[in-house]
Amino acid sequence: MANKLFTTKSIERLMRESSGDHDGGHTLKRTLGKTNLVMLGIGAIIGAGIFVLTGAAASQHAGPAVVISFIVAGLACAFAGLCYSEFASMIPIAGSAYTYAYATLGEFIAWIIGWDLILEYLFGASTVAVGWSGYMVSFLKDFGLVIPEALSSAPIYYDAATHSYSATGALINLPAMAIVGIMTWLLVIGIRESANINNVIVIIKVIVILLFIILGWNYINPDNWVPFIPENTGTFGEYGWSGVVRAAGIIFFAYIGFDAVSTAAQEAINPQKDMPFGILGSLVVCTILYILVGLVMTGIVPYLQLNDPAPIAVAIDATGPGLAWLRPIIKIGALAGLSSVILVMLMGQPRIFFSMSKDGLLPKSFGKVHPKYQTPHITTMITGAVAMVVAGLFPIGLLGELVSIGTLLAFVIVCGGVLVLRYKQPDLKRPFKTPFFPLVPILGMLSSLSLMYFLPLDTWIRLIVWMLIGVIIYFGYSRKHSKVNNP
């Protein structure tokens, strides 16, 4: 039995399955080129992190050195991104880290990572939908349209400092549920249509960010950058180099999503060449934009004044009437940015379910593809329905912590998988190779584990409970229906 738990799926079998549906049904359609994949990556990355978390990271932890924090977090993601790129070019199948784990570490670990990725993609979409709701309520209020708090807030409040819960008196977060519903419908009608809409959204939010950088540059007061790394207050993580590292852990959330590009591998036209380009290209573009936004924001406003849910709007206000016209545009950019993140997160999860169903680990209906749209419509609708409920009921702080720990665990397993496969099957064809092996995968594992270590204890408890539920489902259903162990 123990041997069966760690049965791997051969690369040859994976490649056969990627070239067509071995069950004789419909398969996913290859329609995505390099540009689409980079846009998907940027669409997934630029969202709640840059529009919401940057101010708190600067004001409470790093000061103007939040710029260095972006570089540190970007490097940690780059290590994982290089490992994802090796796998995505070698095994161009829907399923991302789940598929890679199946090929290298065995079925049980693959199931664990597939179950874990629900925390990143499904809960990630819900988290960002709650952020989208906040911006939409604020945007409509500017035009005199007020959505009652009872219908735009979670009924549960989560205090991140004390890790306690309380009732808010609200009923449900309707705007958050609405945006999840719209994005789910888009994903059902087609990946190309969804990708094209995502491209338009990405262009809008990048233009808004560039407007802020270019126009805001003229309002920078260099005195606000002195000292660039404020002295430590005597508490670990509050300024000084420890603050820079702590801020990097917080704004790590701003990078979550680049790995969603790898879930679309089976819909890429030329995955061997285009997947590494999409993953690494989107990471590079976003890191550059983040560094410039951090410089401009802390240059316009003293960092202590940036502890606000909309720090970019605070910076715009500080410029006076000169850039007042930019404030509503920034909100539109934030709404566009968050919309595309929800779209890409909701795109990633069904494709993991699709792959797990094809392997027999989930019911057969999860692997069905719509005969007209050629999308995994059943899993897309299930994902969307659950994400709507979660977004309507739970607060952003609780969801954000769960998403971070789930993503970091996925990074650890993918980096470990590259290490294992290089030694077990060194002669496999690898269109893209992770450079500086084995240093990069080892650094990827260590940096992700370090960030996990600093997450609160109750987040670890929730992760363990979630994993135990997954283990029960695996032994109750998946192991008995596995096509690899029960051909």
165: part of which helix (H) or strand (E)?
strand 164-167
Backbone angles phi, psi at 164, to 5 degrees: -115, 160
Assess contact for 130 and 50: CB atoms under 8 A.
no
pLDDT digits (tens, 9 = 90+) for 188-221: 887 666 667 777 888 888 888 899 999 999 999 9
CA distance 75 to 77: 5
- Average pLDDT rounded to a whole number, residues 150-171: 77
Helix (H, G, I), strand (E, B) or coil at 34: helix
Give the pLDDT score at 259.
72
Return mean pLDDT, the chain. 82
- Tens of pLDDT along 317-369? 888 888 888 888 888 888 888 888 888 788 878 888 888 888 889 988 887 88
**pLDDT average, residue stretch 384-412:** 84
pLDDT in tens, 238-254: 888 888 888 887 777 77
Domains of the chain and any CATH numbers: 34-481 (1.20.1740.10)
- Distance, in Å, from the CA atom of 60 to the CA atom of 307, rounded to the nearest integer, reads 7
Which position has the higher pLDDT, 410 or 68? 68
Q: Provide the whole-model pTM.
A: 0.79
Question: pLDDT confidence of 224, banded at 50, 70, 90?
Answer: very high
Q: How far is CA 485 from CA 5, 6, 113, 198, in A?
A: 9, 10, 18, 39
| Tokens encoding 176 | 């958050």
The identity of residue 137, as a single letter, is V
Neighbours of 381 (CB within 10 A): 15
**For 341, left (φ over 0), alpha (ψ -120 to 50), or beta?**
alpha
